[in-house]
Structure formats: structure tokens, C-alpha cells
Structure 1
Amino acid sequence: MSAAARGDRRVSPVFLALVAVMGVSLWAVWTGFSASPGFAVFLFVVSGWVVSLCLHEYAHARTALHGGDISVGAKGYLTLDPLKYTHAMLSIVLPVIFVIMGGIGLPGGAVFIERNRIRGRWRHSLISAAGPLTNALFAVVVTAPFWLGTMDGVPDHLRYALAFMAQLQVTAAILNFLPVPGLDGYGVIEPWLSHKVRRQVEPFAPFGILAVFGVLWIPEVNHAFFDMIDAVLRGLDVMAWDTYWGQQLFRFWEGTPDIPPLTGLVIG
């Protein structure tokens, strides 16, 4: 491998800095070091979210590389640098706003794959599926202490932070897998559609995510959606109690919530 190729795949210092912030804020939540536990939770969740965004886009790029698009390296997509994937407003500011407003993991970031280099419909579908599958895997990893039954001794604040982070990953995975133009779910099925259908749908791609969130504002749809999210999280042994207090802690600017102790609490 040439020096240039190695440089194209060297992990970005920006990504390493994000991981460091995530690690330090995790330590602060665990030890109670911060005077504001909510601020530590906020830093942990936001840095973790951006790390997951990098991994999501890296998964798209890496799969595309193996599928035949060798241009992804020169574009910096294999460095895990969020600045290569993101638009500041669409990928960072708006997602944080949606997290604050409703605990929804807004899909953000983008890698531009040269699809003409990819041969085979299955490869195209796999490239699109790789991103949300990464969110799903991230959720499984984050919730491992819950479903492995190793939460004894873990501070409550960290328990709630992990639960809320898992909720964001699950919502991101499910939203991304919707077969809506502009989302990865549509990218999975697009190679199997006729050329005529693809041309008819293409103009709607920029508005797909807006339509999804418009529909989510409908109370009945919103309740059904979060009932589904809660059901998935229960399958990972994460209860609604955990995600609720995680979100309350995340909103540190509202003050530290008075959280009842878990001891003796029956969660059903």
C-alpha cells in the first residue's frame, strides 16, 4: 500500500478527540466528578452520537470500497473524520435540536458513492444497509450491560445515559431503514426498482426526511413510533424508566432532576 493510500485510511485526530471527550465524560458520569451530572451526560451522549455518525458513514464508505468504488479513500471517508461527512447545520445542529425536542436520532451526514463503479444490485443494497446496521450494532453494544445483567454497581446516572444513547441509536436505525426516498432504506430497495420508477421518485429524495418528521408530529403516529422503540429497547432489557431519566439528565439546562432511587423500585 502506498503512503498516500495509508494516509487516506489513517484515523482522523478529530475522531480521536471525539472518542477522548466521550471517554472523559463517561468517567465524569461514572465518578460523579462533574458539579453538573446533567452536563456530563450531555457531553457523553452528544460525543457518542457524533462517534456513531462517523461509524455509520464509515460503514457506507468501507462497504463501497469493497464493492468497487475506490474513490472513497481520496475523499477522506475512510478516516472517520466527521468533517468529511457532515454539513454543520444538517448533521450536527439539527440532530442535537431533535434530540432536545423529542429524543429522536436524526439521520445525518452523507458519503457520496460513485455508484457507476459498483456492479451488482446486492452490492448497492448492502452499501445502503451498512449504515443503519452500524447504528443497530452500536445500540446492542451500548445496552450490553443491561442484557448481560452486569448493571450492579453501575451508577444510576450512567445507567440512564446509556439507555438514552441506546434510544437514539434505535430510532436512527429504524428511521434510516424506512423505504423513503433520501433514506438508507430506500437505497436498499432502489436497485431492484425499474428505471422508470427510480426517475419518478428521484425528485422527492431531498424532502423524504422532512416528510418523515412531519408525519412523526402527528400525535397518534408519534405514540405508536415510540411504543415500537420502547418494545425494541425492552428486548434489550432497557426500560422506559431508564430512557426517560436519561433524557431528563441530558437537558442539563433545565436543572438536575430529582430522580427517585432505583432501590426497591419495581419496573414493569
Structure 2
Amino acid sequence: MTTAPSRRDDRRISPVFLGITAVTAAAGWALWADFAADARVVVFLFVTSAWVVSLCLHEYAHARTALHSGDISVAAKGYLTLNPLAYTHALLSVVLPVLFVVLGGIGLPGGAVFVERHRIRGRLRHSLISAAGPLTNVLFALVCTAPFWLDALDGVPETFRFALAFLALLQVTAAILNFLPVPGLDGYGVLEPWLSRGLRARAESFAPFGMLAVFAVLFIPSVNNAFFEAIDTILSTLGVGDGQTYCGQNLYRFWTGRDELCGSLVN
């Protein structure tokens, strides 16, 4: 005979999430203390695990806001445990975002927690549920950049600074891409409740291809340049220079070999 999980079990932090967080903390400490024998590999572990942590928090924010807006089913689905394996599509929520970071250094919007929208009353609540995820990326970006704009990195090894700068870049790109008003992305989810039924019906058929369309457009050189110039401007305002994010990405992609500009940091 089996019993339904208790409310406490539905909301207990997953050991999977705790393990990923532990890897982040250990790798971050190794970089901070300049204890890493191979800085590139440790930067890879730190950024990748921290990025997965941010993806989990992104989805948790959606689920938690949905819970307080009337959808009590999110707890039973495991969304409040921060377990990335509990999402409706782990490939879209975790694997693809990590793969895009590895291949291209861009923060791919993750997602999918299934919210039972019929349980939610009020258009504002629907919008807040969609906005909660990317707002988490904004908060994560502010945390990552705080040591820069607070001038709190004196004496800290450059490898840690560069890793943190690259992680901040990922959070900013994720926030911006998520907030685009394109069907299938959170930005459209913020607007959708305020659109006419006809517009929503037409947009719904495009939603499965929205993310693909965004990345297809980003492959246009002029669009790509403008996008990353905007990212650099935002990060510069927060005290992070484009040289720091470049070196962070270079250290992260350890399999590409030594770079002339940043190679001295990993000798």
C-alpha cells in the first residue's frame, strides 16, 4: 500500500539540487582561494553548476508564484523541490540551456513547469507567473555583478572574477531573451492575458517555434552584434567589462586551448 506524499515532502529541497549547489560552492571556493590546480576545469564546473542552479530557481519562481495564485497542483508535481528532474521536459529546461552555454556562451531560456492556468483567476496573476522566472535571472545577475559595482574584488584571483563575469553575462542574456514578447517565451506570457482571444489563438500555433525563430534571427550578424553590444552596455553599467566576460568564456571553454590574451592566467 502506498501513501500520497505529505505537504512537507512536496516542498522539501531535493538532494539533487543540494548536490548541484554543493558543486557550485566548492568550485567557487577553489577559485576564490586560488586553490585550483587547473583553473579552466574549475571555472567550467563553477559556471555550469551555478547556471543549473539559476535554471532551477527560474522554474521555482514560476511554480511558487503559481501556487500563491491558485494552482495548488504545482506542489504535487514536485516543482517546489527545486529538482531539475521534476520538470515536464528536462531536455528543454536543463540539457539544452547547458548545451547552448557550452557551445555558444549564451543564456538560453529554460523551461517547462506545467501550470494549470484554469485554476488562476485574474489577468495580473497570469502575467506575474510568467514574469517571475526571468525576474529571477535579473536578481541572479545583480548578485553576480554586485562584487563588481561594489568594488569588493580587491585581492580576489582574476580567474574568479572572470568566471563570475561570464556567469553574469549568461544571466543577463537569459533575462533579455526570456522577456522578448515572442510566443513560447515568458515575455509573451506576460502579455498574453491582455490580448484578444483571436490574437492568442493565432499566436498559439507559433509558440512551439518561437524560441527557434529567436535564435535563427540571432544568427544574422547585424542582429547578433547589436544584441551583444546591448549586453556589454548593461554589464558595463554594472561594473563588468567586456574583457572580463571574454576571458571568463575563454577559461570556461577549456577544450579550445590556450588563448593569447588570457592564457597567462592559467599557466
TM range (shorter): over 0.9
- 1:151 maps to which residue? 153
- 8 Å Cα contact 1:216-1:222 kept in structure 2: yes
- 2:237 maps to which residue? 235
- 1:39 maps to which residue? 41
Structure 1 Cα separation of the partners of residues 83 and 258 of structure 2: 33
Deviation, structure 1 residue 45: 0.5
- 2:253 maps to which residue? 251
Q: Equivalent residue of 1:152, what SS?
A: coil
Aligned counterpart in structure 2 of residue 218 of structure 1, from 220, 237, 244: 220
Deviation, structure 1 residue 3: 7.3
- 1:104 maps to which residue? 106
Deviation, structure 1 residue 101: 3.1
Q: Deviations over 1:197-224 (max 9, x none)?
A: 1111101100000000000000000000
Q: Equivalent residue of 2:6, what SS?
A: helix
Deviation, structure 1 residue 33: 2.8
> Aligned partner of 1:240: which letter?
D
- 8 Å Cα contact 2:183-2:206 kept in structure 1: yes
Q: Equivalent residue of 1:73, what SS?
A: helix
Kindly report the root-mean-square deviation, in angstroms, between the aligned alpha carbons of the 2 structures.
1.7
Structure 2 Cα separation of the partners of residues 14 and 80 of structure 1: 8
Deviation, structure 1 residue 90: 2.7
Q: Which runs of 5+ in 1 are unaligned?
A: 263-268
- 1:197 maps to which residue? 199
Deviation, structure 1 residue 261: 7.6
- 8 Å Cα contact 1:8-1:73 kept in structure 2: yes
- 8 Å Cα contact 2:44-2:252 kept in structure 1: yes
Relative distance call for 1:35 and 1:260 in structure 2 (3 A) is closer
- 8 Å Cα contact 1:86-1:92 kept in structure 2: no
Deviation, structure 1 residue 167: 0.2
Q: Deviations over 1:154-213 (max 9, x none)?
A: 110000000000000000000000000000000000000011111111011000000000
TM-score scaled by length of structure 1: 0.93
Relative distance call for 1:148 and 1:121 in structure 2 (3 A) is same
Alignment of 1:56-205 (within 5 A): 56-85=58-87, 87-205=89-207
Q: Deviations over 1:6-55 (max 9, x none)?
A: 11010000000010000111122223333321110000000001000000
Relative distance call for 1:21 and 1:86 in structure 2 (3 A) is farther
- 1:28 maps to which residue? 30
TM-score scaled by length of structure 2: 0.94
> Aligned partner of 1:122: which letter?
L
Deviation, structure 1 residue 100: 2.9
Structure 2 Cα separation of the partners of residues 115 and 93 of structure 1: 26
- 8 Å Cα contact 2:88-2:114 kept in structure 1: no
- 8 Å Cα contact 1:56-1:132 kept in structure 2: yes
Q: Which runs of 5+ in 2 are unaligned?
A: none
- 8 Å Cα contact 1:125-1:187 kept in structure 2: yes
- 8 Å Cα contact 1:54-1:85 kept in structure 2: no
Q: Deviations over 1:47-86 (max 9, x none)?
A: 0010000000000000000100000000000000011126
> Aligned partner of 2:17: which letter?
F
